[in-house]
Amino acid sequence: MSTCVAVLRSGDECGIAAIGRCTRCERPYCPSHIDPDRLVYAVCGRCQADATQRQEAETERGLEQLRAVRVNFNSLFDKIRRQIGTQGQVERQIQVGERKVLLRGYVPTYRTLPAAWPIGLVKWLVVESSPDGAQTKTQAVETGITSAGELVPMRPPTSYGLRGSTTSHVDPDLAMTYRGLLQLARENGIALPPSAT
């Protein structure tokens, strides 16, 4: 009968009767040294700790890339804003209600929103709320960026919904947004940094 080879804090091997072998490293383990969240795959604690460490390193690399994109995004946006001012911005409106007009019926009423430079389709997390609950989905939306640097849908949904329902756009895909901003810079003859791809 094999015994658990997990190393204790004291530096000694556990030595308790093993109940199985790790599916990754084939070391025997006891009930104390199996990852309780991975019982189906029977992974020992050491292999799970290694996997967790690799996953944390990958997450940190991803965060570093995201930080770099944000820095590049902000510097490129500042350059665009300085060089083209408001040229190329498109007016946006949102329907806020309806009013009854004699002989014409109901006509929509609009409110003007800040103008934005169109940067193309960007994936957004779209939340549709109603009295019955909320539904979330990812959707490609024609997007723009305002002079203040705010990412906005170019055709926002109505601000008043049917029977109290609303739609909101949150969490745009930053990589897609950056590509759209690069395209806006190219279209306006703005020199791009060598790192821009």
Of residues 138, 136, 135, 137, the one with CA closest to residue 176: 138
Asked whether the beta carbons of 45 and 4 are under 8 A apart, the reply is no
50 and 94 fall within a common domain: no
Name residue 175's beta-bridge partners: none
Looking at the predicted structure, is the pLDDT value of residue 89 above 80? yes
- Residue pair 154/143 in contact (Cβ under 8 Å)? The answer is yes
Among 67, 84, 101, where does a domain finish?
84
- If asked whether residues 92 and 24 sit together in one domain, one would say no
| 100: β partners | 106
Q: How confident is the model at residue 38 (pLDDT cuts 50, 70, 90)?
A: low
| Domain span including residue 174 | 85-187
Last residue of a domain, one of 43, 69, 84: 84
Give the model's pLDDT for residue 63.
77
Query: Quick one: DSSP state of residue 22?
Result: -
Please count the structural domains in the chain.
2
Q: Which residue type sits at 23?
A: T
Rounded to the nearest 10 degrees, what angle do helices 45-84 and 174-187 cross at? 30
- Are 49 and 7 in contact by the 8 Å Cβ rule? The answer is no
Give all strands (DSSP E) within the chain, no chain letters: 20-21, 28-29, 90-101, 105-130, 133-146, 151-153, 166-170
pTM to 2 decimal places: 0.56
Residue 194: inside a domain: no
Residue-wise over 41-53: b if at least 16 C-beta within 10 A, else e? ebbbbbbbeeeee
If one compares 183 and 48, the residue with the highest pLDDT of the two is: 183
Q: In the prediction, which pLDDT does 41 show?
A: 56
pLDDT tens-digit map of 110-154: 888 899 999 888 888 878 777 777 788 888 888 888 888 888 888
Q: Are residues 26 and 102 in the same domain?
A: no
Mean pLDDT value across the chain: 79
80 and 117 part of one domain: no
Strand (E) or helix (H) holding 45: helix 45-84
Q: Tell me which of 35-39, 153-157, 171-175, 192-196 is least confident.
A: 35-39
Task: Establish if 159 belongs to a structural domain.
Answer: yes
